[in-house]
Structures are given as C-alpha cells and as structure tokens.
Structure 1
Amino acid sequence: MKVEKLIIKDFRSHRLTRVNFTSGINLIVGQNGSGKSSLLDALLIGLYWPAKPRDLKKDDFLRIGGTSTEITVFFEKDGVRYQIHRNITRGISFVKYHDGTGWKTLESGQRQVREWMEKLIPYDVFLNAIYIRQGEIDAILESDESREKVVRQVLGLDRYENAYRNLLDVRKEIDARIKAVEDYLKSTENIDSLIEEMEKSLTEVLRAINELSPILPKLRRELKTAEDELEKLDELSEEVNALKLEVKRREGNVRAIEARVEELSRKLAEAEKRINELKEKVKEADKLREKAELYTKLSEFRKRYSDGKAKSEKLAESYRAQIAGIEERLAELEELKSRLEELERKREGLLKKLTELEGSVKAYEEVKTLEANLKRLMSRLRFSPEELEELERVVENARKRKDEILRRLEEIREEKGALKSHASERNRAILELKKAKGKCPVCGRELTEEHRKELLETYLSEVKGISEKLKALDAEEKELRQELVEVERKLKMERELITQRELLEQAKELEDKLRTYNVEELRARVEEYEGLRNELGKVEGELKNFREELAKGKALERKRNVLKERLRAVEKKLEEIEAELKSLGFSSVEELDGKIEELEPVYRRYLAIKDAEKELKKEEGLLSATRTELEGAKKALKAESHLLSEARRKLEALEAKYNPERHAKARERVAELREELAKTEEKLRGLEERRDEIVENIRKLKDERERRKEKARELENLKRARERVQGLREKVKRYKNLLKEGALAKVGEIASEIFEELTEEKYSGITVKAEENKVKLGVVYNGKEHGLGFLSGGERIALGLAFRLALSLYLAGEISLLILDEPTPYLDEERRRRLVDIMQRYLRKIPQVIVVSHDEELKDAADRVIKVSLENGVSVLREVELGV
C-alpha cells in the first residue's frame, strides 16, 4: 500500500487541508497541538470509520465553527489506485477505483465501504504492521506479557493461535460424532432378531387374508338382490306420496281461485263509482284553468321583480362604496412617494456605516476563535506555571539523582567484584595453607605450625572483613535500588511536564495575541454593527412595502374603471325591471299584489282538481283490466276442479297396490346385509394394511441394517480423522513456536544493531527470549546479560524504540508502508541524532515511510518535509525545502 493524498475538511483544527505523500521518507513536523497527529487520525478514520478506531469519537471531530467533517484518502494497492471519501457529519461514504480513463464507483454506504476496506487490508494488520502509534513503546517496556502481546499482534501469531483453538473445536466435534455413532450402533444391536419376528407376523396375516377373501362375493350378490326389491317398493311409495301431495295442492288452488273471483267482483263495483265522481271534477277544472295560469304568471314576475331589484340595488350600493374607497387609497399613495425618497437616503447612510464597521466584526470573530482555543487549552492544563517549575525541579533533581545512583551502583558493583576476587584468593590461600607441607606457599620459607596458624588467622580475619563489607555494600545497593524506583517514578512525570509546558506556551501565545485587541471596544462596535443591521432590515422592509403599495396604484385605477362600468350595468337593469311592471298593466307593485291576492283561492282549487282527468283515465283502464281478470279466474276455477277429480281417482288405484309392511321388511334386510358386508370389508382392509405395514417395516429394518454397516465404517473414519486433527494441532503449535523463535531471533539481531547505534555501542547487543505468554528482553554489557532494570530511563526508551522498529523492519519485505507517530519524545539530543542515521540506513528499505514528530532534527533523514503550524486556531501546512 502507498498513500498518495489526504484531503480533510473541518476536522479538529483543520479547516481545509490537502497533503500529498511521495515514496521514501515523508516527515510531518510541528509543535504539539498544531494538528500534525490529527492527520494520522484522519487517515485511520478515512480508511476504517465507523467501526475503527474505537478510541476516536464522532463528537470530537467537527472543527469549532465548521459545518461538515469530510475526509478523502487516495492510495495505491497492487498497482490499482483507489479513493475513499467519507462525510462523517452526513453519514455518506463511497470508494472508487481508477481504470486508466476515469474514476469508477466500487461501493457506497458506510457499512459496505468499511467491509470492502477490511477485506483489502484488515484493520489489525494496518495497525500492527504498518502504524506505530504513540504508547506502543510503553507497552513494550511495561511487562513481559504486554511485550508478548505486541509481538503476537505485529507478527500475526494470533492466526496460528486461532487455528490451534479452532482445531480443538474440530476435535471436540469429531468426538461428539464418534459418541453419537457408537450410541447408534449400540441401540441397533438386535436388528436381525426384529426382522425375523416381523417376517413371522407377515406369514400369519397373509393366512388370515386368504381365509376371508372368498366370503365377500357371496355377500355382495345377496345384497344386490335385496336392494333391487327395495328399489321397486321405494318407487311405488314415492308415487303414492306424490299423488297425495298433488291432491292437497289442487284442493288449495280451487279454494284460492274461488276467493279471487269474489274479490274481483267487489273491486269492479267500487271502480264504477269512482269513475262517475272524477268526471264531475274534470268539468270544474276546465272552467278554472285560465285564471290559475294568470296567477302563476303574475306570481313568478312578482318574485323576479323583488329578487332582481333587491340584488341590483345592493350591488349598486357595494360598487359605489368600493369606488369611493379606491379613490381614497389613490390619494394616500400620492403622499407615500415623498416618504419613499426619505427612506432611500436613510438606507444609503446605514450601508455606509456598516461597511466602516465590517473590519471590527471580523476582528471580533477572530477574538472569539482565540478565546475558544484558549479555553480548550486551559481545560487541559493541570498545573500552574509555578507548579510546572516545581515539577521541572523535581524531574531535574531526579535525573541528577539517578545519575548519581547509577554511578554509585557501578562503583558498588566494581567494589563487590574486587572484594569477591580478593576473598576468593584468600580462600584459595587458606586451602593451600591447610594442605601445605614443608615450604610456605606464600613467602617460600620453611613452614612452621606457628607461622601457618598466624597466616590462617590473618587470612580468615581478612575474609571476615570482606564478608562484612559485602553485606554493607549489599544493603547500600538495596537502598539505592529502592530509591531508584522512586526516582524512575518521578522521571515518568517528564512526559506530562513536556505536554503541560507546551500547552502553557500555546496558551501564553494565544493570550499575547488576545492582548493586541481592544476587546471591549470591538464588542461595542459589534453591538453597534448588529443594531445598525437590525435598523437597516426595518428600513428595507418599509421600502419594500412602500414600493409594493405604489405598484398597486395602476391596478387600483383599472379596478375603479371596471367598477364604474358594472354600476352603470346594474342601474340599467333596475330601469328594465320597472318597465316590465308597467307592460303588465300595473302602475305600482301594490296594485300587482292586490291582483295576485284576488286570484289565489281560484289557483288553490285548481291545484286540488287539476289531476282529475289523469285519474279518470287510470281508473277506466283499471276497470277494463278487472273485468278481463274476473273472466279468466272463472275459467281457471272450472279447469282446476276437473284436475282435482282426476288426481283423487289415480290415488285410490295406487293405494290398492302398495303394502307398507312388506316395504319395511325389505328395508331391514338391506341394512343387515350392508352392515355385514362393511364389517367383512373393514376386517380385510385392516389385514391388508397390517400386511403392508409389516412389509414396509421389514424394508426399513433391512435398510437400517445396511445403514448400520455404513455407520461402522464411518466410526473407523472418524477415529482416523481425530488422530489426524490432533496431529495437525500439534504441528500448528510447533510451527507457531518455531515461527515465533525464528522471527524473534531475526528481530533481536536488527534490534541489537539499532540499539548499539543509539547507545554509542555501550552495549554489545540485545537478548530476546520467548516463553509461554511472555517475551523477555535483556542487554549484553561487558559480556554479561542484564535485565531492563540495569538500564537508565533514556536507555530503556531507546531499547523499546529499537525493538519496535525491528519488528516492522522484519516485515519490511511484506509491507510497503510504515507510519511512525512521535518516535522521539523521550530521546536525548544524542540519541535523536543517531535516530536520523538509523532512519537513513534502515527505514529506506521500506518503499514509503510517514513520520510525525515535533523534532525538526529528523529533517536530515527525510526525502520530503511538511511543516504544520497553528495560525488563528487553524492548522496550516507548508512544504519545507530540504537543506534549509
């Protein structure tokens, strides 16, 4: 993977930042808080958001004053160029690739893009093999267990551990299947005896079927004869019952027709009476028709006259009022023209004042940005300047005291070595004196017992004195090492000291910038600016209303002309109504009302009898229909009486042939035969079903016997598979341990070279030992191996850095990108200088390296340098020319 370009918008302190990356070593340098580490966070979020990284929260992204956080990453992988874009605020994501002619979309959606990136480069691989974050050095130095965890993640040993655990799950699954097969084989041991019992049962059932089968045909013949006789009797019974029903039905018909003849005769007499009455009403209506029609004509005109005159007079009054209102409004609009000119002049004056105040408004916005940044920095400050000075004194004293302790420990070690050497010599001399005969092994003269005793006492006294000195030195060394632990604890505060000092310096810088502004004066100008803007808004609102009102003038004139036309039309209509009244022969409406009142009784009587002629015709039609219907009813009565006599004669003839007792006995015989046949058939069906069931069970048992043989073969295969899985599991464990040992051996060689350079070859190497869940580190000094407690604080940091760089360099043949975040925070000047040489010698083996640091000395090792600074609360990037 090679990163080509990163574009971020409104992310933390970055407003809009574009940074290009090249092959070789890219150095991003800047003071703490300038926004340089935010670039690496943006890279991680751009590639793996929203699932990873979990320690970065969405609420911390958006820049103060920003609108929308956006990140775009351009990179190349296996010869293909990609770009991933994310709008964090709106939740939009997509990934594209370049096909040589243009960008084509691959995926869109947050989840889809994240899953695609995880498949291309898993997050754990990126974070462990590619990205060395701040804090990993501490994890390497913290304990053997945490160091082993870092090694396992970077080297990818987790894959083998997962395979080892997964193979255990496979073995357990095979064990479960073995047990299930064994249980099955045990449960089916007696299958042959079951088959034999089933075959015996089948023989007995077949014998019973053969005995029962001949009986059925005989029963079916007897039942057929009985059913034929019963069918004939059923038909005769149905004929008798049908004739009885027909006689009853015809008797009812005769009675109904007789009642209908009587009803029609009564209706005929009533109709003749109503016809005579209607003929009289028809004559009266002819006499009243002319006066009734005159009443209708005059009433309709009276209503039209009243409605039309009232409506027209109301419209005329409305039109006159509207015309007067419009003329009054037109007069008011003439007065608005002078007020409009006055407001135009006022608007120009306000715009001029606002232009003069815009510079103060921008300055005040910058002040608010500086105050917000200062507030954020102050919230992170934990110490006052005085407390920082005290902390610096504590750290400086601890550093001096540590050097003193280490020097004294070195002196104690040398003293103890010399004393132990001297004690060893004296002990050998004592042994030789005890064994010596003749000459003294010390002075060479004749050895007497007195001289031997004198020398032994002297040497023993010296050995005793040496032992007491060694105890005193051991006690002093113990006290010094205990004090060293406390001193190291104080030295760990140096990291917090550096961070807090940088925060304090940034806060002072912001305070100095704020002092250059007269905040109260700017605030007053901003308030004045806001007041003027509000006043301008009101003036422009009035101007808009006035212009709109003036624009309405012509429309009002057109409307006034239309209303005058309508008024003239209404007045003409009123004149036409009065003329129509006179044409009817009336001089006034009162005279018209008198005539209508005179004609009203005649009109009401006419309404009451005007439909008499229609009713007369209707009644005459009904009279004719009733006479016709009466004649038909009399004919129907005669025909139905004849049919009733015929039906009674046939019924008497059939009742003489039918015997109910014989019919009942035939029905009982058929029922008995049907029941006996059904029982016999049911019994035979049961035997046949039992036969089929036994045959099917025998087949299943034989199939199960074959399956049992297959299960026996499967059991053997499962046992062999279990042995293979167990063997593979042991191989995976051995391979993982071999891989770990081989990798750590190579890492140890690379780390030794780097550490020797960082410590000016004070140490001759690093030892790396792998144990279960532990990776132990040591150093070689003067040919002897020592633990990490032997190192100073700076040397421990150098060792952690050398080991972590060695892990990535070990993978350099597999990775094409390495990212280092602040590799020098605790290195002294000399070690930082040596890190430059190490970067030039070792890191150039990796095609692309991105280093983020506040240390500008690393420029000497870089191929490209980008400087990040904070200006007015916003991160700004500038490329630095090498050699400058």
Structure 2
Amino acid sequence: KITNCDNKIQDLKQQLQRTKERINVVQLEIERLKNEVERYNKMKEDFTKLTHQKSLIEKDIKALEDMLREKQTELEKAQKARKIIEELKAEIDKIPLLEEYSKQKNIQEQLKKDKEVLQKILDRVITLSSTISSLEDRYREYEAKQIELRGLREQRKNFEGSKQNLTRVQAQLKTYETDKSSVIKELEEELTKCSQILNQQITSENLYELETILSKKKKELEELKNQLKNQIQNYTQSIGKLQQKIKDLEDNLSKISEAEVCPLCGRELTPEHRENLQKEFNEEKRRIEAEIEDLKGKFNEAEKRIKETERELQKILKIDPARMLKLVKKLADIEEKIKEEMDEIEELKRKVSELKRIDHEIKQLEERLDELKEDHKKYEVAKSELTQYATKEQIEEKLQPIETQLQEILKKLEELEAKLGYKPTEPEKELQDLREKRRIYDQNLPIAEKIEELKQDISSSQEKISQLKLEMETIKAEIEKLAYDEEQHKKAEDELNKTREEENNLKQKVSELETGIKLIGKQKLELQKELEELSEKEKEKTRIDRFIQILNKIRQTYSKDGAQKVIRARARPLLERFTRESFERFNLEYSDVKIDDDYNIAVAGPQGIRSIDQISGGERVALAIALRLAIARLLAGKVEALILDEPTTHLDEERRKELVSIMNSFFREGGRIIPQ
C-alpha cells in the first residue's frame, strides 16, 4: 500500500505540471479575447447612442405630424362652427321671453292643482265629520268592553297553567307512590334477610339497635374462631410429638432386634426379654397411632367449624345497617312529599274551576267586541284622518288668495303673447328646442374663435418637421460608417466566457491535485505508523499464545472431569447420608435419597425411584432444604439457624401450613428460623 501511495503521488505531480502549463496558455488567450471584447463594447456603446438618438427624432417627427393633422382637422371644425353661430343668432334672442311665458304658465297650472286639492280636502272633512258623529256611541261601548276584557285577562294570568300543573302534580304523586312501594319492598327484603342471618326479628322499630347487635354477634364469632385456631395449633403440636415418639419407638425396635444389651435397663437381652420389649413397644406404637387418628379427627372437625364461623362472619359483614337506615329515611321523605302533593292538588283544582269561569266571561266579551270592531275601526280611522286636515274655515280661507293669483297670471300671459307675436301652444317643448339651439351656439362659439391661432400652429409644426428630417439623415450616415456587427460581438463574448470557464476548471483541477497529493502523503504516514503497530502486536500475540497453552493445561486439570470429579466422588457418600437424614425428618412417604456422581438427585418410595421432576412442589421444597442442610453440615458441622428466602412461593395454603409445621418440628430442639 505504501509503494502504491508513492506511485500515485508521482503520477499526480506530473498531472499538476501539465495543468499549470495549460493554464499559462489559456491566460494568454483570455487577454487577447478581452481586448477584442472591449473594442466591440465601445462600438456597441456608440451604436446604441446613435440608435437611441435616431429613435427619439423619429418619435418627435411622428408626434409633430400627428399634431399637424389634428390642427388641420380643428381648423376645418372652427370654420364650420363660425357658419353655425351666424345661422342661430336670431333664434337665441327669443329665449328670455319664452322662459318667462313658460314660468307663468307653470305657476298657473300649479295654482289650479292647489285649488283642486283644497276643494277635495274640504269635501273629505265634511264627510269625516258626519261619520264620527254617527259612530261615537258604539265607539265608547267598544272602549269600555276592552277595559273590562283586559281586567279579566289580568285575573286569568293568576290561574294560567293550573290544568298543566294539576296533571303534572298528579303524575308526580303516582311516581312518589311507586317509589314508596319500591322502598317498602326493598326495606322488607333487607329486614327479612338480616333477621334470618341473626336468628332474631329485626324491624324498623329496633333498626337503630342493629349496630350493637351486629357488633356483639361478630365479637362472639371472632372469639369462637380464635378458640378453634388455638385448638388446631394444640392438635398440630400434639400430633408432631406423638409422631416423634413413634419414630423413637421404631428406632428402639430396630436397635433391639440387633442389640445384645437392653437399651432401657442395661441387662443382657434374652430372646424372651426381647420379645416382651418388642410386644410392649408395638402396643405403645398402636396406642399412639390411635391417639394420632383421634387428634386428626378433632383437627378436621375444628377446621370445619372455623370455615362455618368464617361463613357466618362473611354474612354479617354483608349486612349494611346504614343502607337500611337510609331506606327508612327515604321512605319518610317520600311520605312527606306525598302529603305536600295532595295539598297542592286541592289548591290546583280550585284554580282550575276559577279559570273556567273567567274563560266563559272572556268569550262573551270577545263576541260583543267582534260585533263592534268594524264600527270602532271606522271611527278611529275617520278621527285619525280628520286630525291630518285643517278645519273647514281654514281651508276656505286658503282658497280665496289662490283665486286672486290666477287672475293676475292670466293678464301677464296675454302681454307676453303680444311681444312674441303668437300664442305658444307648447311653450315647454318650444323652449327646449331653443335651449338645444343655444347649447349648439355656445358649443361652437369658442371653436370659431380659435381659427387664427390654429393657422399659426400649423405653420410652426411644418418648419420643425423639416429640421428634424435633416438631423435624421446625418445620424443614419454615422451608423452606417460605424459598421457594428452584434453577432460578431456575441461570438467574441461567448468565446471569452468559455476560455475563462476552462481557466477556472484548470485551477480547480490544480487545487484537487494538490489536495490529493497531501491526502495520499498523509495516508502514507498513517500506513507506516500502522505497520509499526502491527509489528508490535505480532510480538504480543506470540507471548499470549504461549500463556493460553499454560492456562488450558490448568483448566483441564481443575475441570469438571478433573480435580472437581475427584472431590465430588469423595464427598458424595457423606452428602447422600446427610441429605437422607434431613429428608426423613419431613415425614414424607419416601424411604431413601440417591445422589449420583454428577449430583443428580432421586428419591425412593412406594412407587420406586423417582427423579426430582416427578415429585410435587412441596416435596421438591423439602428435598431442596434437606440438600442445603446436608451441604451446610458437610462444610460447617451442626446447623443452628436456617434463613429461608421466600420458601412458600408457588405453594398453596395447605402446603404452606405443612412447611411451617415441618420446620417447627425439625428445629424444636433449639434451632431458629429467620423467614423473609
């Protein structure tokens, strides 16, 4: 890899040299192209300036030509306008007379209309006064009946909703009666159930004493339960002691069958004496076994009574005095509400009767009001309308000056007709025509006044156009002499940009090549360092391989099949004996414990040899404790204390009691148990 790095560095240096030479060539070409582009830029600047001047002159010429055409058009219009105003001048002079005639005519028409309106109002006032006089009595009766009806309706408001309230209260009463029946039934059921549990009559009268009765009954049952538990504990201890006596008798029987000296008196053991002792021990064993059976029967009976006592306690705990008292209170509340609803029903019935009477009177009044309603309306309309008009005398007073004004206007109209020389039939229409002519006259008058001004503007515009056309020809000649080619200019700029891009690429390549040389040089240094480290690691590996060979020899010597196997073989007989002795103390049906060379455990019993997977959980716990005791005795001697770490996990209640009983029996000689 290091040699390869050297070759790469040499190759990159050669490429770097060639690239730098190419950069020098490209930079010379760039300088040449820059000069050429600058020449074209100067030409373009002059070309643009001349073109812009040409464009401005063309716009000025066009604007002047457009303005010249507009001025010529305006001159033609001004000449036509002068002719029109000369024709209309005679007609325009009639307008003031005709306007005055039209004004007086309009006033005459308006006065006639006012006179007609006042005459109609006068006739209407006379008619309305007659109507009001004929309907006044029926109007007064209608107003009195309305007041009476409003009074009855105010009274009715005090009784409105009585029927609905009566229906609602009756329905609520039914609901309360249903609730009352339900509460009574529920209370009777609770009292009956409570009486059956306590074997005495419980009623709502002695319900407040129920707490005391329950407390007393519960205390009696708790005391009975504790007595039974003490009896069971005594039975358990007695059974344990008797079972130990049987074990001692069996040990003595076993010793007697082989001993030559009596273990009791120390005399020589003759066959007859041995037989008598065996007979005596067997009788004692049978007596003890019979006593154990009797105690077991009492034990079972006591357990049965405990369960019955617990069931009675559970029943008592289910009794809820507070709930029954709550039902009694609820019943009293419902009865109080029923009484309130009954009183409210009587009051509502009285209101319903009064409401019917008021409704009958209201109906009679409404029928009479319907008869009077039309005349009442006519009276009010007539009176209301009459208030809008002036009095008869006031109207007649207004009519008098209108007649006088009409006479004066008629005289003025006759004078205006004499001045016009004719009587206008439609003065407004004629005036409108004249006003249209005056509008045309006023419109054309200022146009006609501009004739001389327009002639001067036309002459000035023609001179300016001639001067601008001369300037245009001069600029065209300069543009043609410049000979600027935009396509050649663009081509020179593209070539310059392309050459600059090539220069940038070459400079970037130089940077990349220099970076590559540095990176490969750094990589070479790292490889040289790695090579030195690998040499050191190779030496270390050789030393470790030699050490591993030594360790493998030590591991093989102290492996499971080496020294460990020898130690297990020597300890197995003693461990097996200690485990058997401890396991027998648990009084299980197994007679022997077997441990093979790999310390796999099996037990021997009525069903033959069984592995640890074939025995129950409690038996497995006992066997595990016996094995740990044996290991402790083998290592430390006599065991005086035993610390158990959750030994009852996964055991049912009966198995837990068994384990406690067994451990109490096992350590009754002074050992201590520290359970977790």
Aligned-pair distance for 1:769?
A: 9.0
Q: Does 1:392 align with 2:166?
A: no
In the alignment, what sits opposite 2:536? Answer: none
The match for 1:234 among 37, 44, 63 is 44
Q: Does 1:456 align with 2:283?
A: no
Determine helix, strand or coil for the equivalent of 1:289: helix
Q: Does 1:277 align with 2:87?
A: yes
Q: Does 1:657 align with 2:657?
A: no
The match for 1:466 among 257, 281, 288 is 288
Return the alpha-carbon distance in structure 2 between the equivalents of residues 344 and 656 of structure 1: 112
Return the alpha-carbon distance in structure 2 between the equivalents of residues 367 and 498 of structure 1: 31
Q: 1:322 to 1:664 in 2, by over 3 A?
A: same
In the alignment, what sits opposite 1:616? Answer: 441
In the alignment, what sits opposite 2:347? Answer: 529
Aligned-pair distance for 1:273?
A: 3.1
The match for 2:496 among 660, 668, 674 is 674
Aligned-pair distance for 1:691?
A: 7.9
Q: 1:399 to 1:575 in 2, by over 3 A?
A: same
Q: Say whether the 8 Å CA contact 1:319–1:566 is kept in structure 2.
A: no
Question: TM-score of the superposition, structure 2-length normalised?
Answer: 0.50
Q: Mapping of 1:257-276 within 5 angstroms?
A: 259-260=69-70, 263-264=73-74, 266-276=76-86
Aligned-pair distance for 1:538?
A: 12
Q: Say whether the 8 Å CA contact 1:202–1:691 is kept in structure 2.
A: yes
Write out per-residue CA displacement over residues 613-643 of structure 1, whole angstroms, 9 at most, x where no aligned residue: 4532431221121442134213422442354
Return the alpha-carbon distance in structure 2 between the equivalents of residues 238 and 641 of structure 1: 25
Q: 1:495 to 1:278 in 2, by over 3 A?
A: farther
Return the alpha-carbon distance in structure 2 between the equivalents of residues 480 and 232 of structure 1: 130
Aligned-pair distance for 1:609?
A: 0.8
Q: Does 1:585 align with 2:406?
A: yes
AA aligned opposite 1:234: K
Return the alpha-carbon distance in structure 1 between the equivalents of residues 395 and 148 of structure 2: 45
Q: Mapping of 1:733-882 within 5 angstroms?
A: 771=646
Aligned-pair distance for 1:528?
A: 2.2
In the alignment, what sits opposite 2:371? Answer: none
Determine helix, strand or coil for the equivalent of 1:585: helix
Return the alpha-carbon distance in structure 2 between the equivalents of residues 671 and 344 of structure 1: 106
Aligned-pair distance for 1:229?
A: 3.5
Q: 1:252 to 1:431 in 2, by over 3 A?
A: closer
Return the alpha-carbon distance in structure 1 between the equivalents of residues 132 and 491 of structure 2: 109
Q: 1:200 to 1:483 in 2, by over 3 A?
A: farther
Return the alpha-carbon distance in structure 1 between the equivalents of residues 224 and 258 of structure 2: 50
In the alignment, what sits opposite 2:571? Answer: none
Q: Say whether the 8 Å CA contact 2:64–2:465 is kept in structure 1.
A: yes
In the alignment, what sits opposite 1:225? Answer: 35
Q: Say whether the 8 Å CA contact 1:319–1:563 is kept in structure 2.
A: no
Determine helix, strand or coil for the equivalent of 1:610: helix
The match for 2:301 among 462, 480, 489 is 480
The match for 1:299 among 109, 117, 134 is 109
Write out per-residue CA displacement over residues 281-307 of structure 1, whole angstroms, 9 at most, x where no aligned residue: 214435533321211222344455566
Write out per-residue CA displacement over residues 415-473 of structure 1, whole angstroms, 9 at most, x where no aligned residue: 6467547646755764675577578946x998642243133224324323533553464
Q: Say whether the 8 Å CA contact 1:257–1:637 is kept in structure 2.
A: no
Q: 1:344 to 1:636 in 2, by over 3 A?
A: closer
Q: 1:651 to 1:435 in 2, by over 3 A?
A: closer
Determine helix, strand or coil for the equivalent of 2:426: helix
In the alignment, what sits opposite 2:458? Answer: 633
Q: 1:269 to 1:390 in 2, by over 3 A?
A: same
Aligned-pair distance for 1:213?
A: 6.0
In the alignment, what sits opposite 1:726? Answer: none
Q: Say whether the 8 Å CA contact 2:79–2:451 is kept in structure 1.
A: no
Q: 1:399 to 1:526 in 2, by over 3 A?
A: same
Aligned-pair distance for 1:314?
A: 7.7
Q: Mapping of 1:141-220 within 5 angstroms?
A: 211=21, 214=24, 218-219=28-29
Return the alpha-carbon distance in structure 2 between the equivalents of residues 625 and 641 of structure 1: 25
Q: 1:685 to 1:535 in 2, by over 3 A?
A: farther
In the alignment, what sits opposite 2:368? Answer: none
Q: Does 1:494 align with 2:315?
A: yes
Return the alpha-carbon distance in structure 2 between the equivalents of residues 691 and 321 of structure 1: 123
Return the alpha-carbon distance in structure 2 between the equivalents of residues 535 and 483 of structure 1: 75
Return the alpha-carbon distance in structure 2 between the equivalents of residues 233 and 617 of structure 1: 61
Return the alpha-carbon distance in structure 1 between the equivalents of residues 481 and 148 of structure 2: 128
Return the alpha-carbon distance in structure 2 between the equivalents of residues 417 and 339 of structure 1: 107
Q: 1:210 to 1:277 in 2, by over 3 A?
A: same
Q: 1:616 to 1:770 in 2, by over 3 A?
A: same
Return the alpha-carbon distance in structure 1 between the equivalents of residues 648 and 253 of structure 2: 49
AA aligned opposite 1:667: H
Return the alpha-carbon distance in structure 2 between the equivalents of residues 388 and 451 of structure 1: 70
Q: Say whether the 8 Å CA contact 2:194–2:319 is kept in structure 1.
A: no
In the alignment, what sits opposite 1:730? Answer: none
Q: 1:242 to 1:329 in 2, by over 3 A?
A: same
Q: 1:382 to 1:494 in 2, by over 3 A?
A: farther
Query: What count of residue pairs does the alignment treat as equivalent?
Result: 475
Q: Identity over the aligned pairs, expressed in percent?
A: 11
Q: Say whether the 8 Å CA contact 1:205–1:690 is kept in structure 2.
A: no
Aligned-pair distance for 1:271?
A: 1.9
Q: Say whether the 8 Å CA contact 1:292–1:603 is kept in structure 2.
A: yes
Q: Say whether the 8 Å CA contact 2:29–2:499 is kept in structure 1.
A: yes
Aligned-pair distance for 1:345?
A: 12
Write out per-residue CA displacement over residues 702-723 of structure 1, whole angstroms, 9 at most, x where no aligned residue: xxxxxxxxxxxxxxxxxxxxxx
AA aligned opposite 1:620: L
Return the alpha-carbon distance in structure 2 between the equivalents of residues 418 and 680 of structure 1: 113
Q: 1:282 to 1:496 in 2, by over 3 A?
A: same
Q: 1:407 to 1:313 in 2, by over 3 A?
A: farther
Determine helix, strand or coil for the equivalent of 1:584: helix
Q: Say whether the 8 Å CA contact 2:47–2:482 is kept in structure 1.
A: yes
Aligned-pair distance for 1:274?
A: 1.7
Q: Say whether the 8 Å CA contact 2:88–2:441 is kept in structure 1.
A: yes
AA aligned opposite 2:281: Y
Q: 1:769 to 1:315 in 2, by over 3 A?
A: farther
In the alignment, what sits opposite 2:532? Answer: none
Structure with greater proportional helix content: 2
Q: 1:690 to 1:571 in 2, by over 3 A?
A: farther
In the alignment, what sits opposite 2:601? Answer: none
AA aligned opposite 2:454: E
The match for 1:574 among 382, 388, 395 is 395
Q: Say whether the 8 Å CA contact 1:202–1:695 is kept in structure 2.
A: yes
Return the alpha-carbon distance in structure 1 between the equivalents of residues 644 and 124 of structure 2: 113
Return the alpha-carbon distance in structure 1 between the equivalents of residues 500 and 86 of structure 2: 82
